[in-house]
Amino acid sequence: MTVKACVFDVFGTVVDWRNSVARESAPFLARHGGSAIDPHAFATAWRKRYQPGMEECRSGRRPWTRLDVLHRENLELVLVDHGLDPKKIGEAELAEWNNAWRKLDPWPEAVAGLTRLKRNYIIAPLSNGNIALMTAMAKRAGIPWDAILGAEVAQAYKPQPEAYLRTAEVLMIRPDELCLVAAHNGDLAAARECGLKTAFVTRPNEHGPGQTGDLAPAQAWDWVGTDFQDLAGKMGC
Amino acid sequence: MTVKACVFDVFGTVVDWRNSVARESAPFLARHGGSAIDPHAFATAWRKRYQPGMEECRSGRRPWTRLDVLHRENLELVLVDHGLDPKKIGEAELAEWNNAWRKLDPWPEAVAGLTRLKRNYIIAPLSNGNIALMTAMAKRAGIPWDAILGAEVAQAYKPQPEAYLRTAEVLMIRPDELCLVAAHNGDLAAARECGLKTAFVTRPNEHGPGQTGDLAPAQAWDWVGTDFQDLAGKMGC
């Protein structure tokens, strides 16, 4: 029983969304009367609307919708929450601001670790991010994916079982030949329920100073690494 | 109006299916009583069943089916045509033989040309090959795709318009921001009908000596190159 492909959670596991979205948002905030708003708090507020946005699709109340579209809707909601009027900002700037999610920096060792893992395994994102978003992010950041998989290919959002099982299916491998790598115990638990192998890496700064969740493995995952370099070694690369 | 992504026909345009399938088939033929069969003729016969197999899906008589599955069905038909009994060959060897389509060599300059084009454009296959097939082929051959697109993502086989239009849609670009690169005038004609940009490259040996079709552009395509290196130069890379 051998793992043939490693698929990765991306936001938080491969890339540092919080610092990157804060960096990208700061000039927009400054330009539109939000210079008193902390860009990191803004990034966190934007991200906080991520799960409720997808839940509309998971529940069936809304058809599957690209994350780029949900991010954009959430941007307008977060702006209003912070006392800014999206209409005054205008379409072109809102679209550009939303592209912040395509400009996320990988954690420092992530690309080197992925490059090692790529020697022995097919590597691909299994993210809730859509294909265009993941492709643009990888191109900018030099992430060497073999393929872009995830929610849009599966037409389902994690942690729905279809997101994991259809990913194995398009790779034409069994679930136990597929390993999910994630910094989130909940994601790994859902993958294990579907029969996938699991690898946990610690990202103690994903949510900034004082992070309390996901600091340690919650189950005996198949592999546990301090980061992607450590994991690559443990997975024989 | 600028091209943002180049997508590629693969069989014949990026890779030399005929010589590769012949090479991979030769030992199987020798082992199973087919040593008198010319491996190149066998490869051509196998490929000849490609369009009829997909036509069942295009017509709606059969749901969309992965090309790996169609290739496998066609292998059994071609074996019978050549007087060999698939049942005597057995499941494991048939599966391995079918993997010939994952082991196709790129044309000599293809990877270098793609590497140049990748600097300025998103590059991805827009092939009728399925995701697992294209991913395995790229990994073996070192083809540096940014994403794996094509029939399985679009759930439609070229030259159905959906194959082209849904590819632009998942990249979140307009059809005229997407360029199809192909050695086949028919593929380019269908792409142009959908509003895509078009680039023709000549592959005069795809069908072996004496090839008569697709030796020259049939329309005034947006770009014409002798090969991928020439095309990369003409497209500003």
- pLDDT 10s digits, B208-231: 999 999 999 999 999 999 999 999
Q: For residues B164 and B196, is the Cβ–Cβ distance under 8 A?
A: yes
Partner-chain residue, chosen from A68, A138, A139, that has the shortest CB–CB distance to B172: A68
Q: Which residue has the tokens 């490609």?
A: B50
The β-bridge relationship of strands A5-8 and A122-127 is parallel
Backbone phi and psi for residue B171, each to the nearest 5 degrees, phi listed first: -80, -5
Name the residue of chain A whose CA is nearest to B141's CA.
A146
What are A134-157's pLDDT values in tens digits?
Answer: 999 999 999 999 999 999 999 999
Is A87 at the interface with chain B, CB within 8 A? no
Nearest to A148 among B130, B147, B172 (CB): B147
pTM for the model stands at 0.97
Tens digits of residue pLDDT in A101-140: 999 999 999 999 999 999 999 999 999 999 999 999 999 9
Find all residues with CB under 8 Å of B159, minimum gap 6, and list them.
Answer: B186, B187, B189, B190
- Residue type at B14 in one-letter notation: V
Q: Is the pLDDT of residue A171 over 90?
A: yes
Mean pLDDT (chain A, rounded): 97
- Residue A237 CA, chain-centre distance (Å), reads 24
Domain definitions of chain B by residue range: 5-16+104-234, 17-102
3-state secondary structure at position B77: helix
Please tell me the class of the A5-16+104-234 domain. alpha beta
Res. A66 pLDDT band, cuts 50 70 90: very high
Q: Do A138 and B146 touch (CB under 8 A)?
A: yes
Over chain A, what HEC string results?
CCCCEEEECCECCCECHHHHHHHHHHHHHHHCCCCCCCHHHHHHHHHHCHHHHHHHHHCCCCCCCCHHHHHHHHHHHHHHHCCCCHHHHCHHHHHHHHHHHHCCCECCCHHHHHHHHHHHCEEEEEECCCHHHHHHHHHHHCCCCCCCEEHHHHCCCCCCHHHHHHHHHHCCCCHHHEEEEECCHHHHHHHHHCCCEEEEECCCCCCCCCCCCCCCCCCCCCEEECCHHHHHHHCCC
The first and second tokens of residue A127, run together, are: 């993210």
* Segment A181-220, tens digit of pLDDT: 999 999 999 999 999 999 999 999 999 999 999 999 999 9
Q: By C-alpha distance, which of A119, A9, A25, A133 is closest to A79?
A: A25
Interchain contact, B132 vs A68, CB within 8 Å: no
Cα B172 to Cα B174: distance, rounded to the nearest angstrom: 7
- Which of A66, A135, A147 lies closest to B131 in CB terms? A147
Q: Cβ contact (<8 Å) for B147 and A170?
A: no
In the numeric block, the tokens 């979140």 are attached to: B172
**Mean pLDDT value across residues A27-54:** 96
Band of the pLDDT at A1, cuts 50, 70, 90? low
State yes or no: pLDDT of B111 exceeds 90. Answer: yes
Q: How far apart, in whole angstroms, are the C-alpha atoms of residue B154 and residue A13?
A: 28
B170 at interface of A, judged by CB pairs closer than 8 A: yes
Cβ separation B171–A132 shorter than 8 A: yes
3-class SS of residue B197: strand
How far CA B100 is from CA of A228, B27, B87, B192, in Å, comes to: 33, 11, 19, 32
3-state DSSP percent of chain B in helix, strand and coil, to 5:
50, 10, 40
Whether the CB of A148 is below 8 Å from some CB of chain B: the reply is yes
8 Å CB contact between A198 and A223: yes
Separation between Cα atoms, residue B214 and residue B201, nearest integer Å: 9
Q: Who's near A162: CB < 8 A, 6+ residues apart?
A: A154, A155, A156
Q: Find the length of chain A.
A: 237
Under 8 Å CB pairs connecting chains A and B tally to 57
- Give the Cβ contact number of residue A14 at 10 Å: 30
Q: Does B168 touch chain A (CB under 8 A)?
A: no
Residues 6 or more apart from A39 whose CB is under 8 A from it? A21, A22, A23, A25, A26, A29
Task: Give residue B1's pLDDT.
Answer: 60
Instruction: List the single residue in A with minimal CA-CA distance to B125.
Output: A147
**DSSP code, position B15:** B
Q: Which amino acid is at A153?
A: V
Topology classification of domain A17-102: DNA polymerase; domain 1 (1.10.150)
- Residue pointed to by tokens 């083809």: B143
Q: What value does the mean pLDDT of chain B take?
A: 97
Report the percent of chain B where pLDDT is more than 90. 100
- Would you call B21 exposed, middle or buried from its count of C-beta atoms within 10 A (0-12, 13-18, 19+)? buried
Cβ pair A22, A105 in contact under 8 A: no
Residue with tokens 């610690």: A202
